[in-house]
């Protein structure tokens, strides 16, 4: 059996048996034979076989493009790639990894990334691309940051808010018109927050995300903000309601804590006015951000005297004096209340005394103050009722009180008058055809009402009485004359009958 090795279109018998062999000789056509010839062709054949094997190997290699992304489609960098349990490499910044292989059977692809659930699946050997979506294994929450102006309390739009986690993860965004910006953050993680705006001083804070959404409020201070704090120079108590002027223009009044905020830079004349305190005025220079100015006011002291009298000008002792609702004291025997250390300002004064009408007014106290108060006594309403013995009202009767005419009874026979308390008032009543009447009435303190009733007896009329008597006499004469006439007629009739 002959073995033939082909090489570039020619063949050489490796061995010939029988006749016609050319061992060690020369073949027809000048072809040499022998061991040297066979070895040379063998080397050429082996070289060609190696080249062919390399070409076949190159043709059979497969490239698998692996893309790793999260649930939002964002690339995941440094995701670890495992093939059939063996580590191959990690994804680049685009979330991609190229796996070159010549596997001829299905293999397992596994992707691992911290913070995500591990992904694995079987891949066909002829697959050329695969996209892996990793699901986060960490709970995510919303971190809402609100940014406000510390002076106006209005939201700041367009402020730059940057956050950084304890692991170095960062994010940044600008606030909306509502002053808010929202970030997605992970549970059990600490974050630092920094806020910047060209018109405000930068501000930062920290927040710990536990197991829920978190809201953070940040107040930005204007670069030119000035904080005025006004307090009492002696007690150091904050003064609310003090009015602050800068270069003669009012900036408002201090609020809670004696604070007032304004925006200034440079040098300005500052004045502070408040009831009960001396006016403060000073030139101030404002530089830098969030300037703080402490202003102390000294109280203004005044002398106060309140003199209380009744309606007749008589001093009233024991009258209670109240200042802004608080009892300050009572008047002495001279009807006066005094305070030599009254702080200047505006106050509401109230004066009261039993059985007297109260008094109240608002006054502004200056360097000296004298207040005069008159308290009218509370009067009692007295009604005078005039009638005759038959209890018929007598209208038009003239009433006098302690000798002074005070009026006339009305159609109901009444006259009303208000009287101060007194031990005894004398009422006299007169009317034509009636005898005069009178009564004495005592009025106790405390007000109320009283009634005094006076009965008028009819006066005797002589002329009328004479006419009545004359009428009676005439009537009696007529009756007597009539009786006599009847008797005469009766006697005549009796005598005549006896003659028949």
- CATH classification of the domain holding 150: 2.60.40.10
**169, pLDDT greater than 80:** yes
**Is 261 inside a domain boundary?**
yes
Tell whether 438 and 392 lie within a shared domain: yes
The answer on 241 and 292 residing in a single domain is: yes
Report, as an integer, the average pLDDT of 169-178: 95
| Count of domains observed in the chain | 5
Q: How far apart are CA 389 and CA 435, in angstroms?
A: 12
Query: What is 200-260 written as a DSSP string?
Result: EEEEEEEEEE-SS-EEEEEEEPBTTEEEEEEEETTT--B-TT-EEEETTEEEEE--GGGEE
At residue 338, the pLDDT reads 95
Residue 4 inside a domain? The answer is: no
**Cα 379 to Cα 417: distance, rounded to the nearest angstrom:** 10
Look at 54 and 333; give whichever has higher pLDDT: 333
Q: Where residue 292 sits, what CATH number does that domain have?
A: 2.60.40.1120
The helix/strand/coil state of 484 is helix
Q: If we measure between CA atoms, which residue out of 79, 120, 128 comes closest to residue 103?
A: 128
Q: What is the dihedral of CA 481, 482, 484, 490, to 10 degrees?
A: 160
Residue 259 has pLDDT above 70, yes or no: yes
**E strands along 331-413, which residues?**
336-343, 345-352, 359-365, 368-374, 380-387, 398-401, 404-408
The answer on 274 and 311 residing in a single domain is no
Name the band, by pLDDT with cuts 50, 70 and 90, for residue 364.
Answer: confident
Look at residues 440, 455, 470 and tell me which one is the last residue of a structural domain: 455
User: For the residues 184-205, what does the mean pLDDT come to?
Assistant: 91
Range with the lowest mean pLDDT among 18-27, 277-286, 356-365? Answer: 18-27
In a domain, 31, yes or no: no
Tell me what pLDDT residue 54 has.
55
Statement: residue 68 has pLDDT above 50:
yes
- The mean pLDDT value for 410-426 works out to 93
Considering the domain architecture, whether residues 350 and 321 belong to the same structural domain is answered as yes
Q: Are residues 363 and 420 in the same domain?
A: no
pLDDT of residue 300: 85
* Tokens encoding 429: 């009543």
Same domain, 266 and 243: yes
pLDDT average, residue stretch 178-186: 95
Domain-located, residue 305: yes
Q: For the segment 379-402, what is each residue's pLDDT rounded down to a tens digit? A: 899 999 999 999 999 999 999 999
For residue 328, give the nearest of 357, 300, 352, 361 by alpha carbon: 352
Say yes or no: 123 and 154 in one domain. no
State whether 144 and 215 are in the same domain. yes
Which CA distances in Å does 330 have to 49, 212, 368, 378? Answer: 131, 65, 20, 20
Residue 268: pLDDT band (50, 70, 90) is very high
Q: How far apart are CA 345 and CA 366, in angstroms?
A: 7
The alpha carbon of 327 is separated from its chain's Cα centroid by a whole number of angstroms, namely: 34
Burial class (CB in 10 A: 0-12, 13-18, 19+), 192: middle
Residue 495 lies in a domain: no
Per-residue confidence (pLDDT) for residue 438, from 0 to 100? 93
Q: Which domain holds residue 171?
A: 140-220
Q: Is residue 84 part of a domain?
A: yes
Domain end among 185, 220, 255: 220
Question: Distance between CA atoms of 46 and 388, rounded to whole angstroms?
Answer: 167
Residue 50 lies in a domain: no
What band does 468 get if pLDDT is binned at 50, 70 and 90? low
> Is 35 strand, coil or helix?
helix
Residues 205 and 163 in one domain: yes
Using the 3D structure, point to which of 188, 220, 252 is the last residue of a domain.
Answer: 220
Per-residue pLDDT at 248 exceeds 50: yes
Rounded-to-integer distance, Cα 206 and Cα 364, Å: 52
Are residue 366 and residue 409 in the same domain, yes or no? no
pLDDT in tens, 4-44: 334 434 444 444 444 444 444 444 444 444 445 455 566 66
Going edge to edge, which strands form the sheet with 266-273? 249-253, 243-246, 266-273, 280-286
Contact 64, 91 (CB under 8 A): no
Does 175 reside within a domain? Answer: yes
Same domain, 354 and 384: no
pLDDT of residue 476: 79
Same-domain pairing of 245 and 258? yes
Per-residue pLDDT band at 47 (split at 50, 70, 90): low
């Amino acid at each position: 059996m002959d073995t033939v090795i082909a090489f570039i279109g020619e063949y050489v018998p490796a061995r010939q048996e029988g006749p016609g062999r050319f061992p060690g000789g020369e073949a027809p056509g000048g072809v040499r034979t022998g061991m040297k010839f066979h070895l040379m062709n063998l080397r050429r054949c082996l070289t060609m076989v190696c080249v062919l094997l390399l070409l076949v190997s190159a043709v059979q290699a497969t490239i698998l493009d692996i893309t790793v992304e999260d649930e939002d489609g964002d690339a995941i960098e440094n995701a670890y790639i495992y093939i059939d349990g063996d580590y191959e490499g990690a994804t680049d910044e685009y979330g991609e990894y190229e796996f070159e292989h010549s596997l001829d059977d299905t293999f397992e692809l596994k992707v691992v990334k911290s913070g995500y659930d591990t992904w694995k699946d079987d891949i066909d050997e002829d697959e050329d691309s695969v996209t892996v979506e990793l699901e986060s294994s960490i709970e995510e929450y919303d971190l809402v940051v609100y940014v406000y102006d510390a002076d106006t309390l209005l939201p700041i739009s367009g402020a730059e808010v940057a956050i950084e986690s304890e692991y170095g993860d960062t994010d940044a965004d600008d606030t909306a018109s509502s002053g808010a910006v929202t970030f997605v953050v992970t549970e059990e993680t600490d974050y630092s927050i920094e806020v910047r705006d060209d018109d405000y001083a930068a501000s930062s804070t920290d927040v710990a995300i536990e197991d829920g959404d978190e809201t953070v409020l940040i107040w930005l201070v204007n670069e030119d903000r000035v904080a005025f704090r006004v307090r009492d120079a002696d007690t150091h108590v904050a003064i609310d309601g003090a009015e602050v002027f800068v270069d003669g223009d009012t900036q408002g009044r201090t609020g809670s804590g004696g604070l007032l905020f304004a925006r200034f830079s440079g040098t300005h004349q500052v004045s502070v006015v408040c009831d009960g305190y001396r006016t403060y005025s000073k030139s101030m220079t404002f530089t830098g951000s969030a300037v703080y100015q402490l202003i102390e006011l000294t109280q203004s002291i005044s002398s106060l005297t309140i003199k209380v009298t009744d309606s007749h000008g008589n001093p009233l002792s024991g009258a209670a004096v109240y200042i802004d609702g608080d009892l300050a004291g009572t008047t002495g025997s001279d009807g006066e209340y005094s305070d030599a250390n009254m702080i200047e300002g505006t106050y509401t004064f109230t004066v009261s005394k039993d059985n007297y009408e109260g008094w109240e007014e608002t006054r502004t106290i200056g360097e000296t103050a004298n207040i005069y108060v008159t308290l009218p006594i509370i009067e009692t309403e007295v009604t005078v009722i005039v009638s005759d013995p038959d209890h018929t009202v007598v209208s038009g009767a003239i009433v006098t009180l302690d000798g002074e005419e005070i009026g006339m009874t009305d159609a109901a026979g009444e006259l009303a008058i208000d009287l101060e308390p007194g031990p005894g008032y004398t009422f006299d009543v007169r009317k034509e055809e009636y005898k005069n009447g009178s009564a004495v009435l005592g009025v106790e303190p405390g007000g109320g009402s009283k009634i005094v009733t006076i009965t008028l007896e009819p006066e005797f009329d002589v002329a009328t009485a004479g006419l009545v008597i004359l009428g009676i006499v005439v009537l009696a004469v007529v009756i007597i004359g009539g009786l006599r006439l009847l008797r005469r007629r009766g006697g005549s009739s009796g005598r005549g009958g006896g003659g028949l």
